[in-house]
Amino acid sequence: MPVSIFNDVIGPVMRGASSSHCAAALRIGRLARDLMTNDIAHALIEFDVNGSLPNTHESQGSDMGLFGGFLGWDAADERLPQSARALREAGTVVDIRYIDCHDPHPNTYRLTLSNARETHTMIAISTGGGMIDVRQIDGQPVSLDGGARVEVGGRVLNPVLPVLTQPDAVLPFNTCTELLAFDAGRGIPLWQWAVHYEMVRGALSEEAVLSMMVDIVRILRRSIAQGIAGTTYADRLLGHQSGRFADKMQRGALLNAGVLNRTVLYTTALMEVKSAMGVIVAAPTAGACAALPASCIAVAEEMNLDEVAMARAMLAAGLIGVFIAGPWTFAAEVGGCQAEGGAAAAMAAAALVTLADGTLAQATGAASMALQSMLGLICDPVAARVEIPCLGKNVLAASNAVSCANMALAGFDAMIPFDEVVDAARRVAARMPREHRCTALGGLATTPTALRLGAELAARRAATGSCVTAASSGTHPID
């Protein structure tokens, strides 16, 4: 299905550690709920032992999202952290098993759902940033992204995406190369092309597109303020740090890094809100949710620009994300952190050029330079939590974006066209070992300190009775 800025790039509005886990699993769960006409008595959930989910489904929120979806909840529902308990109280028995089935995609969900009357099966994958693809229902091949109301086997599956798919839409361009050719030297700003693209993609008015992004900007600004004020959550590694940074910055006790200090502050605040299960926006993912909005809002505030200007810049960033998600992925399980932090940096660089009224060529050039410098970045979350080194990588992405935006505005030549950089990242990912693609099996995740932290968190969860028991064989209901 064609990529949508709001469905797939800047969104969903959500809670949880990871969009490819929490948000995607929730969307899969809601479609499964429809398949069972809202009556799931038993759910068998199977994960391939060679994929990413056996090591991350609990700690990164796949269980939380899937259970919330079974209950029919929204991705931003404040009850999500209690979804396991709520599902159990609703009478649903859940078994989670690890099997050796050689699934080609590391984020594959195999569901067998039943009640007193019937049993149905579903195979779906999370493709990154909350995007999904339902591949099979009751043994029959399908391809559903949740963007349209469809009937399968006499059951209606309702859309789970904010922008509905328009099957007859003829998109003006799908790649950066096609965009530049379509512009034909007219120099129309990137944000205007983003609006045009989304108007065609979703049959929306220009006013609706801008209004939707302004709403997202307001959510992000509220979350930044919440993060700076302070967040608490037991099941996380990093506590409240952004408040100390804000205090030091206000007292002039930090190095004078100009707008970068405000950017780091906002980045930290958003990451803390994410880890405290507050409301964030995947932009393009939850793990890389901070770099783009933090840099965009921080720079816009320094320039005394309003929320409409921020929204235009975010739309420009969204179109760069379309050019990544279409041929490649945002999923670190597939592409490493170059697919998340690298994409965020590229998108943010284009957004910052847009704030400065840079040209279309400068915006796409900045995006190219930003992604070039993050090729090969691995994903190695400590204790399978999306906190360390994710905070630092979001700061890196934001800092990279500021630098590349200024370089582009100064006339630096990116040399390599953006689409070629995306393809290079895809080829690098194909050679990246599984251990370095969000499995918590390599890099910093396997250091002695990381292993100790993981054991301490596991013991804490077990002591509070908040864990989901799972194993490679046998039946293990949630407890």
pLDDT single digits (tens) 352-367: 999 999 999 999 999 9
Instruction: Compute the average pLDDT of residues 174-194.
Output: 98
Query: H-helix or E-strand containing 294?
Result: helix 291-302
Residues 263 and 348 in one domain: yes
In a domain? residue 441: no
Q: How confident is the model at residue 465 (pLDDT cuts 50, 70, 90)?
A: low
pLDDT single digits (tens) 88-125: 999 999 999 999 999 999 999 999 999 999 999 999 99
Angle at 76 between CA 268 and CA 136, to 5 degrees: 115
Residues 141 and 190 in one domain: no
In a domain? residue 7: no
In a domain? residue 278: yes
In a domain? residue 300: yes
pLDDT of residue 477: 37
Could you list the residue range(s) of the whole structural domain that residue 147 is in? 17-151
pLDDT of residue 461: 80
Residues 259 and 371 in one domain: yes
Give the span between the Cα atoms of 80 and 74, in whole angstroms.
9
* pLDDT of 468 above 80: no
Q: How confident is the model at residue 17 (pLDDT cuts 50, 70, 90)?
A: confident
Looking at per-residue pLDDT, the higher value among 470 and 394 belongs to 394
Instruction: Compute the average pLDDT of residues 444-463.
Output: 93
Residues 231 and 317 in one domain: yes
pLDDT single digits (tens) 18-63: 898 999 999 999 999 999 999 999 999 999 999 999 988 988 889 9
In a domain? residue 468: no
Residues 183 and 101 in one domain: no
Residues 115 and 227 in one domain: no
Q: How confident is the model at residue 16 (pLDDT cuts 50, 70, 90)?
A: confident
pLDDT of residue 470: 32
pLDDT of residue 460: 86
We report the CATH number of the domain holding residue 56 as 3.30.1330.90
Q: What is the CA 60 to chain-centroid distance, rounded?
A: 12
**What is the dihedral angle through the alpha carbons of 464, 75, 5, 329, rounded to the nearest 10 degrees?**
40
**pTM of the full structure:** 0.92
Residues 227 and 137 in one domain: no
What are 204's two structure tokens? 């929306």
Of 401, 421, 436, the position where a domain reaches its end is 436
Residues 96 and 193 in one domain: no
pLDDT of residue 20: 87
Give the span between the Cα atoms of 255 and 220, in whole angstroms.
26
* pLDDT of 351 above 90: yes
Please state which of the ranges 64-68, 151-155, 192-196 shows the lowest mean pLDDT.
151-155
In a domain? residue 160: no
**How far is CA 390 from each of CA 15, 219, 276, 302, 410, rounded to the nearest angstrom?**
17, 22, 15, 26, 30
Residues 85 and 183 in one domain: no
Residues 125 and 180 in one domain: no
Residues 243 and 292 in one domain: yes
In a domain? residue 418: yes
What are 246's two structure tokens? 């804000």
pLDDT single digits (tens) 201-235: 999 999 999 999 999 999 999 999 999 999 999 88
Q: What is the average pLDDT score of the chain? A: 94
Task: Work out the burial of residue 276: count CB atoms within 10 Å of its CB; fewer than 13 is exposed, 13-18 middle, 19 or more buried.
Answer: buried
Peptide bond into 477 cis (omega under 30): no
pLDDT single digits (tens) 248-296: 999 999 999 999 999 999 999 999 999 999 999 999 999 999 999 999 9
On whether the CB atoms of residues 96 and 48 are closer than 8 A, the answer is no
Give the span between the Cα atoms of 38 and 329, in whole angstroms.
31
Q: How many domains does the structure of the chain reveal?
A: 2
* pLDDT of 478 above 60: no
Residues 284 and 427 in one domain: yes
In a domain? residue 228: yes
Closest CA to 342 of 330, 357, 360: 330
pLDDT of residue 462: 82
Question: From its phi and psi, is residue 364 left (phi > 0), alpha (psi between -120 and 50) or beta?
Answer: alpha
pLDDT of residue 473: 35
pLDDT of residue 463: 82
Of 421, 436, 451, the position where a domain reaches its end is 436
